[in-house]
Amino acid sequence: MWYSGRDTGLTEIWSRKQHLAYGMGLGIMLVDDVYPGFPGDMRNPSAYPFPIQYDIARGIGFDELIFERDKSACVEPVIASARRLQDLGCRAVAAECGYFAYFQRTVADALDVPVFMSSLLQAPLARAVVGAHRTVGLMVAFRDHLTGGHLEAVGIAPDDHAGYPVTGIVESGHCPTLVRLYNEPDPAKRHAEYAVVEREVVTLATEFRDQHPSMGALVLECGAVQPFARAVQRHLDLPVFSWGTLLDYAYGVVAHRDYFGHV
C-alpha cells in the first residue's frame, strides 16, 4: 500500500459535498460488456495498491464507443456513470478503454473531481520528456478508429499528429488471441493464455519500434495490454506509458503520499 502507517494529520472527520463513502480512491468507468482481465487489466483491481470503485456506462459497449461515428448518444450515459462514481466519493474518475478519450473534455467539464478518461492523456507528456526530435508511438486497439477528435481531446494539436505514429492491435495481425477474446460472441467462452498474449503483444511492439527508429517512447492505449507493459519495456528498452502509469499518477495527485525517511 501507499501508506506505511496512520496519517497523523487526520484528527477529525466531516461530511464532504456529494460524498456517500469515505477513504475512496479512483473510480473507473467500465464498458458495458463482459470479458476477463489479467491482473493489471483495468477491470481487474487486484494488482493496484489503492482503492478502486467501478461503475458501468450502461448501454455503451465497444460498438457504441469505438465504431459508431456519431457518438452523441454516448454522452449522457458516460456523464451519468462518471457522476455516480463522483457521488460515491471517488477522488478522481478514469475509464477502462482509451477510446473514452473522445469524452475527456465533456466529462471533465461536468465533474468536480479530476478526470482521466484515457491513457492517451500521457502522449503529450511523453513527447515533452523525450524531445521534439523523437516520436511517441501509440499502440491502440483499432488504428482505423482513432480519430483526430480523440487526439485533440487529450491535447495533441492537429498540426502535431505526425509526431505520434499509430499501430493497431487488430489491424496488425500479430495479436489474434486478443482479437478472438473480444470477438467471441459467447462471453462464457472468452479465454486467453497469458504467455501467448504476452508474446503477441511484444512481437507487435517490437515491429512497431523497428518501423519507427526515431521512437522515443511508447503509449499503450488498450487496457487489456497493460498487464504486458513491463514485458514490452524489457524488449524495447524505451519509456512505456500505460494505464498503470496513469492510474498511479492520478491517485498520487488526489491522495498524495506522505514521506518517511531519515537525514
pLDDT of 22: 78
The dihedral through the CA atoms of 99, 105, 110, 111 has a sign that is positive
CATH of region 120-242, choose from 3.90.550.10, 3.40.50.1860, 3.90.320.10, 3.40.50.2000:
3.40.50.1860
- Which grid cell sits at 192? 486467453
What is residue 18's DSSP assignment?
A: T
Q: Which of 102, 223, 218 is nearest to 167 (CA)?
A: 218
Q: Could you read off the pLDDT tens digit of each residue along the chain, which spans 263 residues? A: 555 566 677 778 777 776 677 778 999 999 999 888 999 999 999 999 999 999 999 999 999 999 999 999 999 999 999 999 999 999 999 999 999 999 999 999 999 999 999 999 999 999 999 999 999 999 999 999 999 999 999 999 998 899 999 999 999 999 999 888 888 888 888 889 999 999 999 999 999 999 999 999 999 999 999 999 999 999 999 999 999 999 999 999 999 988 888 88
CA-nearest of 194, 256, 217, 234 to 41 is 194
> C-alpha cell of 133?
526530435
Q: What is the DSSP letter of 64?
A: I
Beta-bridge mates of residue 55: 29
Do the domains 26-117+247-254 and 120-242 sit in the same CATH topology, yes or no? yes
Nearest residue to 228 (alpha-carbon basis) of 197, 256, 253: 197
What is the phi-psi region of residue 200: left when phi exceeds 0, alpha when psi lies from -120 to 50, beta otherwise? alpha
**pLDDT in the model for residue 213:** 96
Give one DSSP letter per residue of 180-242, joined into a string. Answer: HHHH-SSGGG----HHHHHHHHHHHHHHHHHH-TTEEEEEE--GGGGGGHHHHHHHH-S-EE-
What does the pLDDT read at residue 208?
97
Q: In 10 A of CB 109, how many CB atoms?
A: 9
Could you tell me whether strands 26-31 and 92-95 are parallel, antiparallel, or unpaired per DSSP bridges? parallel
Instruction: Tell me whether residue 25 is exposed, middle or buried, using C-beta atoms within 10 angstroms of its C-beta: 0 to 12, 13 to 18, 19 or more.
Output: buried
Domain residue spans of the chain? 26-117+247-254, 120-242
Measured CA to CA, the distance from residue 247 to residue 82 in angstroms comes to 16
Indicate the fold that domain 26-117+247-254 takes in CATH: Rossmann fold (3.40.50)
Task: Please count the residues of the chain.
Answer: 263
Beta bridge partners of 42: none
pTM (predicted TM-score): 0.91
Question: Radius of gyration of the chain from Cα atoms?
Answer: 19
Burial category of 155 from C-beta neighbours within 10 Å (exposed 0-12, middle 13-18, buried 19 and up) = middle
